[in-house]
């Protein structure tokens, strides 16, 4: 353990152990303390000398301050995120806490270790829907006005980006994804491909491929990553296997 303390913000990937990078596995093996949301901390095997600090959802700043404080005490701390820590996950929260907190925290050894974020794992399961230009939008309006989400959805449709939509729905946000589908139907063709990828790489994984015309709001929950195709996204139909969804590299630019 470093005497000056170290803080590592690590991505565990979407769930399966075989998607955890060796770099992250090594950081977990070296750590004195693991800090994170309970279900993610549960993915780290207990061992002597390792202290697990599991916390509830939606207390990201408290969790970040705990991690920074432990590192400042000389501990070797790993903050764990699902997916990639820099994509709608813990890295930004830690840096918010760092910037607003004890100036001494700025002298800590801090590093971010990337991971396989949900959209990449989901895209891989169906083919290559993000094979051309795309965007990633967090549909949660907990930390931004819903009007901004709507504006970004419309501009992204006009740019003809494929879209990865994170956090489409939860108990506290019951209507937002239904509204998202309405906006996408106004801006994009009814036959646009939409993919619902739930709990990718975990035992309960489910994948559904549909169209904007047929998609229903209840197909997305808090464990679902939604991918919406661009105007060029295609299906390859196969016998005895699900269709392949992909967006060709070539685009003539007519759509938008």
**Within 125-184, which residues bind a second copy (CB under 8 A)?**
125, 127-138, 143-145, 147-148, 151-152, 155-156, 158-161
Among 42, 62, 96, 186, binds a second copy (CB under 8 A): 96
Q: Is residue 250 a contact residue for a second copy (CB under 8 A)?
A: yes
Q: Which is nearer to a second copy, 14 or 181 (CB)?
A: 14
Among 47, 58, 106, 216, binds a second copy (CB under 8 A): 106
Q: Which is nearer to a second copy, 138 or 211 (CB)?
A: 138
In whole angstroms, the minimum distance from the beta carbon of 122 to a second copy comes to 9
| H/E stretch holding 161 | none
In whole angstroms, the minimum distance from the beta carbon of 53 to a second copy comes to 21
* Cβ-Cβ contacts under 8 Å for 190 (sequence gap 6 or more): 211, 212, 213
Q: Is residue 99 a contact residue for a second copy (CB under 8 A)?
A: yes
**Residue 198 to residue 220: CA distance in whole angstroms:** 8
Q: Which is nearer to a second copy, 72 or 93 (CB)?
A: 93
Long-range pairs of 16-22 with CB within 8 A, sequence gap ≥ 24: 16/201, 16/202, 17/43, 19/115, 19/116, 19/121, 19/201, 20/115, 21/113, 21/114, 21/115, 21/116
Q: Which two tokens stand for residue 211?
A: 């169209």
3-state DSSP helix/strand/coil % of the chain, to nearest 5: 30, 25, 40
Q: Is residue 251 a contact residue for a second copy (CB under 8 A)?
A: yes
Interface with a second copy in residues 107-126 (CB under 8 A): 107, 110-117, 120-121, 123-125
End-to-end CA distance of the chain: 54
**Residue 164 to residue 196: CA distance in whole angstroms:** 10
How many residues touch a second copy under the rule CB under 8 A: the total is 79
Q: Are 59 and 89 in contact (CB under 8 A)?
A: no
Only one of the segments 63-71, 171-179, 218-226, 232-240 lies at the binding site for a second copy (rule: CB under 8 A); that segment is: 232-240
In whole angstroms, the minimum distance from the beta carbon of 123 to a second copy comes to 5
């Amino acid at each position: 353990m470093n005497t000056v303390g170290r803080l590592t913000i690590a991505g565990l990937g979407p769930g399966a152990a075989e998607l955890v990078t060796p770099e992250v596995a090594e950081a977990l093996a070296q750590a004195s303390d693991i800090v994170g949301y309970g279900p993610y901390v549960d993915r780290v095997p207990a061992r002597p000398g390792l202290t697990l600090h599991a916390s509830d959802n939606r207390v990201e700043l408290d969790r970040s301050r705990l991690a920074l404080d432990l590192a400042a005490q000389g501990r070797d701390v790993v903050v764990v995120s699902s997916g990639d820590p820099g994509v709608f996950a813990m890295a930004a929260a830690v840096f918010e806490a760092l910037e607003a907190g004890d100036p001494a925290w700025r002298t800590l050894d801090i590093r971010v270790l990337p991971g396989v974020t949900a959209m990449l794992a989901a895209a891989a399961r169906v083919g290559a829907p993000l094979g051309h230009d795309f965007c990633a939008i967090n549909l949660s309006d907990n930390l931004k006005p819903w009007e901004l989400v709507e504006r970004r959805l419309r501009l992204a449709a006009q740019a003809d980006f494929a879209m990865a939509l994170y956090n489409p729905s939860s108990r506290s946000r019951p209507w937002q994804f239904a509204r998202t589908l309405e906006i996408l139907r106004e801006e994009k063709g009814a036959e646009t491909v939409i993919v619902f990828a739930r709990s990718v790489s975990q035992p309960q994984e489910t994948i559904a491929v549909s169209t904007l015309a047929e998609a229903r709001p209840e197909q997305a929950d808090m464990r679902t990553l939604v991918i919406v195709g661009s105007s060029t996204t295609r299906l390859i139909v196969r016998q005895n296997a699900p269709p392949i969804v992909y967006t060709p590299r070539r685009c003539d630019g007519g759509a938008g």
